[in-house]
């Protein structure tokens, strides 16, 4: 597999780890009077706002554009994925604001409704990842040439993953510790 696609696949595996951790925290949030670490939940949302939205999704969108120039096999799938890339930030922003309300203890939003909203977002994320991995990535790998990948590589944004990269941001160290414990 191409190294760019390997990196995207690794990102997806890491996103699933975060989704599972957030689901666990939501379980506690729903069923336990002692709230889970809301700051940890906020760190997850913050990370997903920063790395995937600013680095990961632009990489995918670049690959999608090159792919669509060569093949029109599955344009509706790509159209939906790109729509997700546009809608996810809005969904996360709402979750982020509600979560900050709970942290400041001014959360007037019902816990269960908040949890349902986050779970709906997480399920949509999982569906999105599964669609990319199973319905799109195999077509991309089969269709794009070495020249295409070289062109993509020259346009790829360079950035360190602040959670799973070589240099972990101080902000995410406790989140990383939670993931590996």
Report the predicted TM-score, pTM, of the whole model to 2 decimal places. Answer: 0.92
Q: Are 170 and 47 in contact (CB under 8 A)?
A: no
29 by Cβ neighbours in 10 Å (0-12 / 13-18 / 19+) ranks as buried
Report how many domains make up the chain: 1
The residue segments making up the domain with residue 141 are 3-180
**How far lies 156's CA from each of 89, 123, 153, 164, in Å?**
21, 28, 5, 18
- The pLDDT assigned to 110 comes to 86
Reading the block at residue 117, the tokens are: 């909203």
Q: How far apart are CA 115 and CA 140, in angstroms?
A: 35
In the block, which residue shows the tokens 């959670």?
A: 163
Provide the residue count of the chain. 181
For the chain, what is the radius of gyration of the CA atoms?
A: 18
Q: How far apart are CA 76 and CA 8, in angstroms?
A: 21
What CATH number is given to the structural domain containing 131? 1.20.120.520
- The pLDDT assigned to 107 comes to 63
- The pLDDT assigned to 33 comes to 66
Instruction: State the CB neighbour count (10 A cutoff) for residue 106.
Output: 9
Q: How far apart are CA 173 and CA 160, in angstroms?
A: 15
User: Which residues of the chain, if any, have pLDDT below 50?
Assistant: none
């Amino acid at each position: 597999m191409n190294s760019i696609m390997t990196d995207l696949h690794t990102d997806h595996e890491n996103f699933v780890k975060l989704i599972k951790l957030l689901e666990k925290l939501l379980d506690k949030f729903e069923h336990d009077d002692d709230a889970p670490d809301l700051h940890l939940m906020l760190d997850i949302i913050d990370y997903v706002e920063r790395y995937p939205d600013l680095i990961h999704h632009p990489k995918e969108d670049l690959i999608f554009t090159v792919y669509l120039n060569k093949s029109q096999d599955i344009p509706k799938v790509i159209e939906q994925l790109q729509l997700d890339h546009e809608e996810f930030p809005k969904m996360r922003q709402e979750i982020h604001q509600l979560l900050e309300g709970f942290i400041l203890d001014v959360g007037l939003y019902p816990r269960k409704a908040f949890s349902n909203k986050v779970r709906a977002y997480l399920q949509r994320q999982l569906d999105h990842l599964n669609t990319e991995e199973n319905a799109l990535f195999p077509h991309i790998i089969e269709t794009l040439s070495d020249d295409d990948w070289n062109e993509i590589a020259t346009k790829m944004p360079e950035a360190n993953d602040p959670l799973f990269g070589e240099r972990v941001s101080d902000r995410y160290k406790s989140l990383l510790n939670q993931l590996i414990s």
